[in-house]
Structure 1
Amino acid sequence: MTDATALPFNSHAEFEAQLRDCLGRARSTLQLFDPDFSVFPLGSTETDAALRHFLAGGGAIQIAMHRSAYIERHYPRFLRLLREFNHKIEARATPRSLHHLTDSFCIADGTHIVRRFHSDHMRGEAAFDTPQATELSQERFSGIWMEAVSTLHPTTTGL
């Protein structure tokens, strides 16, 4: 994705700004991957409002992670959103064999992307209205999604 359309970022504030922009542009699909989503602002009121608007407008979310514990402990708003829109949000956890994957990204509609090169660092790039910038991450997400299993069930029984 390193080209003239890429918008680099190096801080948490810049990452959040690019992510808000990406969420605001989404119309039909969001595909998110991160080892644990600890730096994603999934618990903020602003993100909750953006995701509610997106889902109410007919959008769908696929979220993949290595571990869901951080979301379960720190993002009650996201868990409430999952309960309310469980038919539009699917969460999956990767098998141990994929825990070596350390990148982090959010793809909106196959056209917009915010990507951190490594989940331990804030350095990354964003690209908007650039489908070719999302191709590699979309392919990666498809592979992750196929291997992952359901997690973050809306109720304790998973129903």
Structure 2
Amino acid sequence: MQEQNTTRFDTRAEFEAQFRACLAAARTRLDLFDPDFAVFPLGSIEVDAALRDFLKRGGVLRLAMHTSAYIERHYPRFIRLLRDYSHLIECRATPKTLKQLTDSFCIVDEVHVLRRFHSEHMRGEAAFGSPGAVDLPRHRFDAIWEESKAALQSTRTGL
């Protein structure tokens, strides 16, 4: 049964609006998984400002991905953010055994979640103030994180 505070979306604009809502709601921790983060607007000025504000307040950001190539090529602002806040941001790449994972999600402070059911499609849902909706993505993220290795070190230039 769908909770009342769950919003479904199926366009990139709706996804980006929900992602920005997640950033606005974030207080202590953001955990994100996506195969390459190509649809997350990590390179935009607004997202950079929101993430900087979040990190200035002591928030922690963790990204797990299959490959960091898209971020390195297209998100120079995020690479600078990583350099500036390397003590609060950690990025990891999945091993070959997890490359078949195709969903995408963002977990915010253990109470909000944004997820796309398949990374090649925009269809998904956002649930705010729903710790129960976070349970499955939390278990998935923790398992992915445990298996993954460090990527996007702050000493990398992204060039």
TM-score range, shorter chain: over 0.9
In the TM superposition, 1:46-85 aligns within 5 A as 46-85=46-85
Report the alpha carbon displacement of residue 82 of structure 1 after superposing the two structures with TM.
0.1
TM, length-normalised to structure 2: 0.96
Secondary structure of 1:105's match? strand
In the TM superposition, 1:98-137 aligns within 5 A as 98-137=98-137
Alpha-carbon RMSD: 1.2
The aligned counterpart of 1:8 is: 8
Unaligned residue ranges in structure 1 (runs of 5+): none
Report the alpha carbon displacement of residue 4 of structure 1 after superposing the two structures with TM.
2.9
2-structure distance, mates of 1:126, 1:101: 20
User: Residue 5 of structure 2 contacts residue 129 of structure 2 at CA under 8 Å; is this kept in 1?
Assistant: no
TM, length-normalised to structure 1: 0.96
2-structure distance, mates of 1:102, 1:5: 25
Matched residue count: 157
- Encode CA deviations 1:32-76: one digit per residue, 9 max, x unaligned: 000000000000000000000000001001100000000000000
Q: Which amino acid aligns with 2:69?
A: A
Unaligned residue ranges in structure 2 (runs of 5+): none
Report the alpha carbon displacement of residue 156 of structure 1 after superposing the two structures with TM.
3.6
Report the alpha carbon displacement of residue 2 of structure 1 after superposing the two structures with TM.
3.8
2-structure distance, mates of 1:21, 1:131: 16
2-structure distance, mates of 1:123, 1:10: 4
Report the alpha carbon displacement of residue 6 of structure 1 after superposing the two structures with TM.
1.4
Share of identical aligned residues, percent?
Answer: 61
Change (3 A) 1:156 1:47: closer
User: Residue 59 of structure 2 contacts residue 88 of structure 2 at CA under 8 Å; is this kept in 1?
Assistant: yes
The aligned counterpart of 1:92 is: 92
